[in-house]
Amino acid sequence: MNTTEGSFYTGEYRNLFLENGLRPEAIQQRLEDTWNEMFYGAPDVRLYHTMDEDKGYIVDTGNTDVRTEGMSYGMMMAVQMDKKEEFDRLWNFAKVFMQHTEGRYKDYFAWHCKLDGTRLSPGPAPDGEEFFAMALFFASRRWGDGAAPFNYSEQARIILRACVHKGEDGEGQPMWDPETRLIKFIPETPFSDPSYHLPHFYDLFALQADEADRAFWKDAAARSRDYLHLACHPVTGLSPEYANYDGTPAEPQPHGDFRHFFSDAYRVAANIGLDYEWFRCDPWQVEQSNRIQAFFRDIDPADYRRYTIDGQPFDEPSLHPVGLLSTLAMASLAADGPDAGHFVKLFWDTPLRTGERRYYDNCLYFFTMLALSGNYRIYL
């Protein structure tokens, strides 16, 4: 395997489980079992449910609602696993119940709703939109475009068009800040969320979005990579949940204090790992992944907690320790330090989470299972 260029260029994907001595048959079985448990397993494990003849949803079990985060994650899982029925059901639910057809949020998605599709609040969360768009582009390449709403590639372009151009007619706000070209936390806020930054998606958007916007997406990818250098602490590798456009932690918000390394921020390590696997264009990502793994190397997952970004622990335990462990393992796609194999093996020995708080943990778990088995792939 060519390890000097990313998968985008080589078409090859590392299987870190195989590299760490696990058997191919066991790896494939574990991946399939994880899918089956999350989508069709026991009540205290599964997240996916069908609705009517043509819809399905992923439930946030900790809040008993449906979120664009989970719906778009579920679609990405389904397209990676070549599961068209589940993909189409999830997309149909999101399209019917969550996507706005008029007003200031037209073409955006209400970020959460009840299990019956009733919207709980109208505003969007940009991490959902970017995952929807990428999953739709991949679906177009894997299965081909059908009749609306299953004309996947055009649906993706509609979403991205809104993300960039919303507000130019005087109504609404774009999801990317026009000046910095950084993704916002929500369209109305003047700050970002480091875990929303997916430069590996933006490089692919630059090949498939509206031609007039392709330079924007290429620039957004470069700026997101640079931004993560600022948002991640140079010693610990930890990043805040919300951060200003200069990378400094955002001030406390009315709904809480998000200056610290806590739930949202876990995804940064996974995103950096996958970006390195796909594009391998930023050597800093190796150093960053080594740093964050070194910070957690001697901490038992049962003792994960909230941390300041310079590494001071709070008494508050992590709400999602399996999710954090998963992202630390996914960082091994970029890490070349002594801890990379440790986290791969620790992840392999950790089962899916059960119970009320399993949703976020197990979504991150599944992406890690895909990535470390060489199955989180680009479809172009």
Supply the CATH number for residue 314's domain.
1.50.10.10
Contact 371, 330 (CB under 8 A): yes
At 241 the pLDDT is 98
Tokens of 40: 């069709």
> Is residue 131 assigned to a domain?
no
Got the DSSP string for 218-273?
A: HHHHHHHHHHHHHHS-TTT----SSB-TTSSBPPPBTTB---SB-GGGGHHHHHHH
At 1 the pLDDT is 59
At 4 the pLDDT is 81
At 5 the pLDDT is 94
> Is residue 258 assigned to a domain?
yes
How, if at all, do strands 313-317 and 305-307 pair?
A: antiparallel
At 75 the pLDDT is 99
> Is residue 80 assigned to a domain?
no
> Is residue 246 assigned to a domain?
yes
Q: By residue range, what is the domain housing residue 10?
A: 1-41+228-380
At 3 the pLDDT is 67
Smallest CA-to-CA distance from 78 within 123, 138, 18 is with 138
Can the peptide bond before residue 43 be classed as cis, meaning omega within 30 degrees of 0? no
Smallest CA-to-CA distance from 232 within 246, 221, 247, 220 is with 247
Domain count, the chain: 1
pLDDT in tens, the chain (380 residues): 556 899 999 999 999 999 999 999 999 999 999 999 999 999 999 999 999 999 999 999 999 999 999 999 999 999 999 999 999 999 999 999 999 999 999 999 999 999 999 999 999 999 999 999 999 999 999 999 999 999 999 999 999 999 999 999 999 999 999 999 999 999 999 999 999 999 999 999 999 999 999 999 999 999 999 999 999 999 999 999 999 999 999 998 888 899 999 999 999 999 999 999 999 999 999 999 999 999 999 999 999 999 999 999 999 999 999 999 999 999 999 999 999 999 999 999 999 999 999 999 999 999 999 999 999 999 99
> Is residue 52 assigned to a domain?
no
> Is residue 219 assigned to a domain?
no
At 255 the pLDDT is 87
Contact 194, 288 (CB under 8 A): no
> Is residue 81 assigned to a domain?
no
Tokens of 267: 């995804």
Distance CA 316, CA 307 (A): 9
> Is residue 18 assigned to a domain?
yes
Active site positions, annotated: 69, 264
At 340 the pLDDT is 98
